[in-house]
């Protein structure tokens, strides 16, 4: 067996998924659209040291108590290969982990890439998509560059780039308001929302309309139209979370302050919009000529821990080490 390393970038959902149709295969209950970022990345190295006597996962330098979080794609790949040697998985994120910055998406995408290569499995792209999905519902999107559509029709999944990074080079200002790990994982939160939120059925039932509007906006490079649907879709998802029992609220005081500031800037004519995932970070999207000015404005808000300026990035790939 050979060693193999892959990197993948987080992706930010413009039109979100929140809810699973099936926990078998980890299938989302709805389609989603995302952008893959650059700058932030997860790197996963796979090796088979001869002195290792059990499969071991080291995340950001810490040995994990078990492989629980990655076991679905990991076990499936090992089964496909018939390899019995102990495997060392070393994953590193150059940004906060499990804080609503899609580290599971980039982590799983890089894991599946590196492990399938190390095991010398000749997999189709569709197999890689499905294996990444076993790890995280949003992970297939990190396999692809630019604007990405993850289409879910029943149990049928397709995932592909709908516009390359250079075809509409928007930029993203990631405002980190807390790098603490979140209390409720996306997976647990989705289960709670599906069971208890009175808004859940409506959220799932009307979701395809948002997908269509966003697709049209991306195809016609209509920034205003895209921004309006992205904010609307994001707020609907957070309403589903908040109306769950127990209520799930990922926002903190600074998240609210950033959203208020964006509203004011928009009212003054700034071409920006935002989205927020399962965590307190705000991602502001703009055209490249505004990035610096937006970052300066946002940095003035008390409570901002840091700001990461990203462009749109590449899909997951193997690297030489
Ligand atoms: C709010 O894909 O992280 O970011 O499949 O359980 O790992 P698991 O969930 P995950 O959930 C992402 C939720 C979201 C919206 C999105 O990215 O579409």
**Tokens describing residue 310:** 């990203």
What's the confidence (pLDDT) of residue 95?
79
Q: Are 120 and 185 contained in the same domain?
A: no
Distance of CA 7 to the CA centre of its chain: 14
Identify the CATH number of the domain in which residue 218 sits: 3.30.70.890
Residues lining ligand 1, Cβ inside 6 A = 13, 16-18, 26, 32, 104-105, 136-138, 186-187, 277-278
Q: Are 47 and 92 contained in the same domain?
A: yes
Cα-to-centroid distance, 36 and ligand 1 (Å): 14
Share of the chain above pLDDT 70, in %: 99
Q: What residues contact residue 243 under an 8 Å CB cut-off, 6+ apart?
A: 197, 198, 199
Phi and psi torsions of 180, nearest 5°? -70, 150
Cα-to-centroid distance, 101 and ligand 1 (Å): 10
pLDDT band per the 50, 70, 90 thresholds, residue 301: very high
pLDDT, tens digit (0-9, with 9 covering 90-100), for 146-186? 999 999 998 899 999 999 999 999 999 999 999 888 889 99
Q: Are 155 and 22 contained in the same domain?
A: yes
- This prediction has a pTM of 0.96
Mean confidence (pLDDT) of the chain: 95
Cα-to-centroid distance, 32 and ligand 1 (Å): 10
What's the confidence (pLDDT) of residue 239?
98
User: In whole angstroms, what is the distance from residue 159 CA to residue 198 CA?
Assistant: 30
What's the confidence (pLDDT) of residue 6?
98
**Tokens describing residue 33:** 């659209």
pLDDT at 38 over 80: yes
Q: 54 is in which domain, residue-wise?
A: 4-166
- Closest atom, ligand 1, to C-alpha of 32: 18
Q: Are 202 and 294 contained in the same domain?
A: yes
Query: Taking residues 111-116, what's their average pLDDT?
Result: 98
- Residue nearest to ligand 1 atom 7, measured at CA: 136
**Tokens describing residue 212:** 């269509």
Cα-to-centroid distance, 136 and ligand 1 (Å): 7
- From 107, 132, 166, the end of a domain falls on 166
Query: Taking residues 202-225, what's their average pLDDT?
Result: 98
- In three-state form (DSSP H/G/I as H, E/B as E, the rest C), the secondary structure along 220-261 is CCCHHHHHHHHHHHHHHHHHHHHCCCCCCCCCCHHHHHHHHH
């Amino acid at each position: 067996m050979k060693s193999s390393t892959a990197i993948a970038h987080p992706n930010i959902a413009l039109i979100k998924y929140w809810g699973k149709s099936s926990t078998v295969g980890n299938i989302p209950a709805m389609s989603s659209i995302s952008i893959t970022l650059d700058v932030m990345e997860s790197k996963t190295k796979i090796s088979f040291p001869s002195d290792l006597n059990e499969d071991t996962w080291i995340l950001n330098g810490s040995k994990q108590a078990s492989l629980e979080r990655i076991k679905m794609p990991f076990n499936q790949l090992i089964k496909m290969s018939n390899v019995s040697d102990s495997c060392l998985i070393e994953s590193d994120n150059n940004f906060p982990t499990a804080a609503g910055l899609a580290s599971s998406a980039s982590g799983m995408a890089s894991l599946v890439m590196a492990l399938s290569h190390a095991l010398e499995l000749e997999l189709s792209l569709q197999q890689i998509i499905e294996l990444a999905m076993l790890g995280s519902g949003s992970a297939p999107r990190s396999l692809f560059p630019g604007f990405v559509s993850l289409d879910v029709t029943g149990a049928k999944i397709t995932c592909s780039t709908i516009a390359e990074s250079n075809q509409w080079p928007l930029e993203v200002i990631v405002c980190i308001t807390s790098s603490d790990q979140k209390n409720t994982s996306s997976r647990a939160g989705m289960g709670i929302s599906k069971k208890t939120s009175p808004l859940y059925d409506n959220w799932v039932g009307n979701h395809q309309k948002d997908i269509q509007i966003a697709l049209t906006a991306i195809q016609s490079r209509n920034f205003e139209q895209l921004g309006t649907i992205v904010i609307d879709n994001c707020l609907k998802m957070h309403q589903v979370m908040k109306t769950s029992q127990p209520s799930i609220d990922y926002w903190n005081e600074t998240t609210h302050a950033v959203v208020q500031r964006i509203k004011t800037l928009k009212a003054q004519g700034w071409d920006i919009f935002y989205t927020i995932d399962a965590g307190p970070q705000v991602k502001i999207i703009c055209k490249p000529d505004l990035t610096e000015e937006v970052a300066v404005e946002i940095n003035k808000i008390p409570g901002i821990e840091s700001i990461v300026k990203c462009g749109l990035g590449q899909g997951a790939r193997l690297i030489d080490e």
